[in-house]
Amino acid sequence: MKHADIIIIGGGAAGFFAAITAASVKPDLSIIILEQSKEVLQKVRISGGGRCNATHACFDPKELINFYPRGAKELLGPFYSFGPSQTIEWFKNHGVSLKTETDGRMFPVTDSSETILNCFSDLTKKMGIKVFTNVKVKNYHYKQSAELKFEIITDSENYTCNQMMLATGSSPFIWNLLKTQGYHVIEPVPSLFTFNLPKHPICNLMGLSVPKAKVYIKDTKISSDGPLLITHWGLSGPAVLKASAWGAGVLAERKYEFDILVDWVPDINVPAINQLREEMAKKKVVSNPLFSIPSRLWQFITNNIITDREKNWASLSKMEMTDMINQLKSSSFSVKGKTTFKEEFVTAGGVSLEQINFRSFQSKLQPGLFLAGEVLNIDALTGGFNFQAAWTGGYLAGTEMGKKQE
Ligand X SMILES: Cc1cc2nc3c(=O)[nH]c(=O)nc-3n(C[C@H](O)[C@H](O)[C@H](O)COP(=O)(O)OP(=O)(O)OC[C@H]3O[C@@H](n4cnc5c(N)ncnc54)[C@H](O)[C@@H]3O)c2cc1C
Q: Which residues bind ligand X (CB under 6 A)?
A: 9-15, 34-37, 42-43, 46-48, 52-53, 136-137, 167-169, 171, 173-174, 344-346, 373-375, 384-387, 390
Q: How far is the CB of 12 from ligand X (least distance, A)?
A: 2
Q: Are 114 and 121 in contact (CB under 8 A)?
A: no
Q: How far is the CB of 8 from ligand X (least distance, A)?
A: 9
Let me know how long the chain is.
406
Nearer to ligand X, 258 or 345 (CB): 345
Q: How far is the CB of 135 from ligand X (least distance, A)?
A: 6
Q: How many CA atoms lie within 13 A of 155 on its CB side?
A: 10
Q: How far is the CB of 130 from ligand X (least distance, A)?
A: 14
Q: How far is the CB of 69 from ligand X (least distance, A)?
A: 13
Nearer to ligand X, 297 or 390 (CB): 390
DSSP state letters, 145-198: SSSS-EEEEESS--EEEEEEEE---S-HHHHHHHHHTT--EEEEEEESEEEE-T
Q: How far is the CB of 60 from ligand X (least distance, A)?
A: 18
Q: How far is the CB of 46 from ligand X (least distance, A)?
A: 5
Nearer to ligand X, 88 or 137 (CB): 137
What span, in angstroms and rounded, lies between the C-alpha atoms of 125 and 173?
29
Nearer to ligand X, 227 or 294 (CB): 227
DSSP state letters, 48-108: HHHT---EES---HHHHGGG-TBTHHHHHHHHHHS-HHHHHHHHHHTT--EEE-TTSEEEE
DSSP state letters, 232-278: SSEEESHHHHHHHHHTHHHHHHTTTEEEEEEES-TT--HHHHHHHHH
H/E segment holding residue 318: helix 318-329
Nearer to ligand X, 305 or 383 (CB): 383
Nearer to ligand X, 10 or 402 (CB): 10
What span, in angstroms and rounded, lies between the C-alpha atoms of 25 and 248?
38
Nearer to ligand X, 140 or 258 (CB): 140
- 3-class secondary structure, 135: coil
Nearer to ligand X, 370 or 387 (CB): 387
DSSP state letters, 137-159: EEEEEE-SSSSS-EEEEESS--E
- 3-class secondary structure, 353: helix
**In sequence order, which residues have a C-beta less than 8 Å from that of residue 117 and are 6 or more positions away?**
41, 44, 45
Q: How far is the CB of 219 from ligand X (least distance, A)?
A: 30
Q: How far is the CB of 406 from ligand X (least distance, A)?
A: 25
Nearer to ligand X, 13 or 215 (CB): 13
